[in-house]
């Protein structure tokens, strides 16, 4: 197996192409000295910046290979077979810069061993003992990384050298462990160690400028926002039970209660958040949220107030930023003919014409089977919300909360009176429940 192993020059070619396509100016990549060298060589020699980048990378790999191969003074057939692709590619580019290699060495005639021996002893530019061009390929990668802000060039260079060392000192059997450690130490002084890969979740959790990810208690305001960190396998039984109730809700003759019991911090509010996101995310209904209280005299009013406050929130976060009430209004108004709906949304409509149109629209809705049992005043409020007018919307919300309206406020909603008395909130809850069940 070791005799069949050969150096892959493709990795160097890929890295060179990636560097050259980085958008970094070639003068920056090569450095001042090498750029001047390229400018002095006649154009007929085809010493382009591209050729010099290839040569710099090939020369680094060739020097590493020669230090391993020449340590014991004997070059084996396995070593020759391994290094031949690298030697041929390096000789091709080196011959453009150094005429001596082009004129005195023919690899097919003289063989790879002679080329390796001559290059290893060469003290001139791009020779094995030239300090000026030692690790030049690494320097090119470092310049590309620094100028582009992308460490991929240095990372791929590190992989290239590591692979070469592993193959030569491991599978081929060249050199000694001491020589390998010597090369690694030399590289370590020039090449910073790779930054450990950080888990993206850890980075998000620890970032000082990011939103808080985890905390001990879920607050009520969070129920109305999406939860990207929700794990649906946690409290799986409770989620399944809720989903089953949700699927049967539209056909149920009576209301259902799902009791969630648990200690503080066990995830009850988190489940409420998940339930609301499921309901709204799948467009299955309208969810409200409130915390239990023993300090209210009229619990129906307390429930109604919290329900309207919940429905005045975005229906489903950034995906559907309109409030749940607006979505309910759109669903109700969607039963009207398009021409009537366009007229209803006409901002130039006068008060009397608007109220007459709303009454006509509400009567038309009552004639539809799904809405025949709906409260006519609640239907009118849904149609007034189609106007998207803040002042009128504020009075509609007061009406739905069964709060008293003065004469001016009632004039904005067609003179309607909200349900009053102790039974008013319970009646409104019934009306709204029937409406969303349509």
Q: Are residues 185 and 234 in the same domain?
A: no
Q: Are residues 232 and 166 in the same domain?
A: no
Q: Are residues 237 and 371 in the same domain?
A: no
Q: Which residue has the tokens 């019991």?
A: 261
Domain that holds residue 96: 2-190
pLDDT score at 1: 40
> Which residues neighbour 37 within 8 Å (Cβ) at sequence distance 6 or greater?
47, 52, 97, 125
Q: Are residues 346 and 233 in the same domain?
A: no
pLDDT tens digits along 139-172: 999 999 999 989 899 999 999 999 999 998 888 8
Reference 362, options 338, 335, 339, 388; nearest CA is 335
C-alpha of 32 from chain center: 40
List the beta strands (DSSP E) in 274-385.
314-316, 320-323
pLDDT score at 2: 42
Residue 323, classed as helix, strand or coil, is strand
pLDDT score at 426: 97
Spatial contact of 6 and 85, defined as CB atoms under 8 Å apart: yes
Q: Are residues 59 and 116 in the same domain?
A: yes
First to last CA, the chain: 75
Record the tokens describing residue 314, joined without a space.
């975005």
Q: How far, in Å, CA of 59 to CA of 82, rounded?
A: 16
Stretches in the chain below the pLDDT threshold 70: 1-4, 38-46, 192-197, 211-217
Can you name the residues that pair with 299 across neighbouring β-strands? none
Reference 173, options 373, 49, 2; nearest CA is 2
Q: Are residues 281 and 422 in the same domain?
A: no
User: Do the domain assignments include residue 96?
Assistant: yes
Q: Are residues 164 and 249 in the same domain?
A: no
Burial classification of residue 135, based on how many CB atoms lie within 10 Å of its CB (0-12 exposed, 13-18 middle, 19 or more buried): buried
Burial classification of residue 261, based on how many CB atoms lie within 10 Å of its CB (0-12 exposed, 13-18 middle, 19 or more buried): exposed
- DSSP structural state of residue 170: I
């Amino acid at each position: 197996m070791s005799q069949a192993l050969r150096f892959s020059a493709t990795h160097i070619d890929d890295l060179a192409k990636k560097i050259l396509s980085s958008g970094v100016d070639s003068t920056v990549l090569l450095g001042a000295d090498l750029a001047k060298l390229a400018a002095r060589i006649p154009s007929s020699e085809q010493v382009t910046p591209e050729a010099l980048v290839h040569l710099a990378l090939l020369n680094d790999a060739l020097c590493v290979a020669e230090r391993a191969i020449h340590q014991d003074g004997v070059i084996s057939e396995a070593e020759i077979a391994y290094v031949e692709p690298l030697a041929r590619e390096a000789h091709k580019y080196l011959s453009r810069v150094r005429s001596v290699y082009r004129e005195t060495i023919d690899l097919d005639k003289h063989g790879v061993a002679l080329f390796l021996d001559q290059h290893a002893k060469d003290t001139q530019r791009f020779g094995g003992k030239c300090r000026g061009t030692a690790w030049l390929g690494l320097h090119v990668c470092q310049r590309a990384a620094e100028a582009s802000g992308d460490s991929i060039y240095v990372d791929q260079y590190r992989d290239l050298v590591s692979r070469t060392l592993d193959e030569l000192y491991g599978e081929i059997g060249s050199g000694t462990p001491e020589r390998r450690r010597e090369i690694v130490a030399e590289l370590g002084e020039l090449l910073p160690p790779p930054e450990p890969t950080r888990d993206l979740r850890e980075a998000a959790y620890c970032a000082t400028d990011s939103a808080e990810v985890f905390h001990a208690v879920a607050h009520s305001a969070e129920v109305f926002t999406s939860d990207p960190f929700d794990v649906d396998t946690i409290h799986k039984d409770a989620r399944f039970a809720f989903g089953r109730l949700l699927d049967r809700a539209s056909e149920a003759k009576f209301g259902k209660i799902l009791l969630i019991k648990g200690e503080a911090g066990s995830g009850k509010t988190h489940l409420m958040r998940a339930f609301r996101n499921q309901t709204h995310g799948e467009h299955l209904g309208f969810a409200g949220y409130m915390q239990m209280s023993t300090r209210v005299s009229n619990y129906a009013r307390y429930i109604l107030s919290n329900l309207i406050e919940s429905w005045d929130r975005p229906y489903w976060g950034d995906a559907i930023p309109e409030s749940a009430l607006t979505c309910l209004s759109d669903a109700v108004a969607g039963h009207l003919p398009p021409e009537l709906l366009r007229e209803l949304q006409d901002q130039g409509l006068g008060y009397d014409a608007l109220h007459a149109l709303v009454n006509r629209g509400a009567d038309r809705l009552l004639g539809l089977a799904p809405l025949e049992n709906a409260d006519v005043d609640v239907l009118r409020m849904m149609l007034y919300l189609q106007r998207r007018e803040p002042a009128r919307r504020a009075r509609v919300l007061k009406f739905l909360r069964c709060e008293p309206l003065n004469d001016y406020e009632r004039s904005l909603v067609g003179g309607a009176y909200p349900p009053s008395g102790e039974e008013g909130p319970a009646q409104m809850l019934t009306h709204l429940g029937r409406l969303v069940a349509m």
